[in-house]
Amino acid sequence: MRTVRCGRPAGAVGSAGAAGPAGAVGSAGAVCTAAAWVVLGAVLLVAVAGPLVAGSTRSEAGPLLPPGPGHPLGTDVLGRDVLALALTGGRTVLLLAGASLALAYLVGVPLALTMVGHSRRWVDEAVLHGLDTVLALPGLLVLLVLASTGEQHAFGVVVAVAALQLPAVVRLARSAALAPACRTVVETMVLQGEPWWRIHLWHTGRAVLAPVAVDAGTRLILVLQLIASANFLGLGLAGSTADWAVLVERNRDALVLQPLAVLVPAGLLVALCAGANVVVDRVTRSSREPRARRLRWWFRSAPARRDEEMAG
């Protein structure tokens, strides 16, 4: 007599066991991504809409007061309300970071396209060697040297941070413009007699747009860190400016007496960088998944195509 056993087939048990951990990892990743979106959205909301609802940031009370009526988070070393400063201090961080990032790409991408379209190879090599010199300089060391001069210029910080990002931006745009698929179309357009600007600024510029957009998301985090470091060193903004990094620097000596004056702006900076890091990483992976899926399909279907060719 043949015994019939009830239950799940062996293959199904193995697949379910394999899918269990993968599903748990996927769920954890989704929760982490959702939390990062919430944190980033909350910090951006504070930075953008905070100045509209913040109170006065002038010195209207005693210094280093604990939380109490009229000052929910206490006051800083200058007697200013910490809550109002926290709501107002994110605007300068976003403005300086956005300006630095925009300047780096507005200079770097056209420079890379000009290098690719130039007929003289020595010009391309000379520019790359010059950019390699800048690339070898540590960003924080450059900011420390600039801070030692004692000058405070927000525009100087924007230019310095943009210059530090310029070599990587130029190399990325140049590599995208020299991709084989892009060069094939460029050679065809040259044979057709298309003008130089249409080939290298219009077609090649559109070809490098996607890699540049992905790189901008990841580079934003580094720019935010450099801008915050510059403001902490007193390089970009005055000590009385309502800025998260400036607040940390001004109140660090009073951390024991009034910790909220340091922890609140520092926490907002950490949340901004960490949230942006996770979100950008997730968006970048999502943009690469369709291509990876197509490549997996191609390699998996290769044996079937080979069998069909042999049968034919």
* pLDDT at residue 94, rounded to an integer: 94
pLDDT, residue 8, reads 45
Cβ atoms within 10 Å, residue 73: 20
Going residue by residue through the chain (312 aa), what tens digit of pLDDT does each one get? 444 444 444 444 444 444 455 556 567 778 888 999 999 999 999 999 999 999 888 888 899 999 999 899 999 999 999 999 999 999 999 999 999 999 999 999 999 988 887 767 787 888 888 999 998 889 989 999 998 888 888 999 999 999 999 999 999 998 888 887 677 777 777 777 777 667 777 778 788 888 888 888 889 889 999 999 998 888 888 888 899 999 999 999 999 999 999 999 999 999 999 998 888 888 877 766 555 454 444 445 544 544 555 555
Give the pLDDT score at 191.
Answer: 72
C-alpha–C-alpha distance, residues 56 and 75, integer Å: 12
The enclosing H or E element of 262 equals helix 260-311
Q: Tell me the C-alpha distance between 216 and 138, whole Å.
A: 20
* pLDDT number for residue 304: 52
3-state helix, strand, coil in the chain (%, to 5): 75, 0, 20
pTM: 0.76
Q: Do 166 and 103 form a contact (C-beta atoms < 8 A)?
A: no
- Say how far apart CA 124 and CA 131 lie, in whole Å: 11
Angle in degrees, 0-180, between the axes of helices 244-251 and 260-311, rounded to the nearest 10: 140
Strands (E), the chain: none
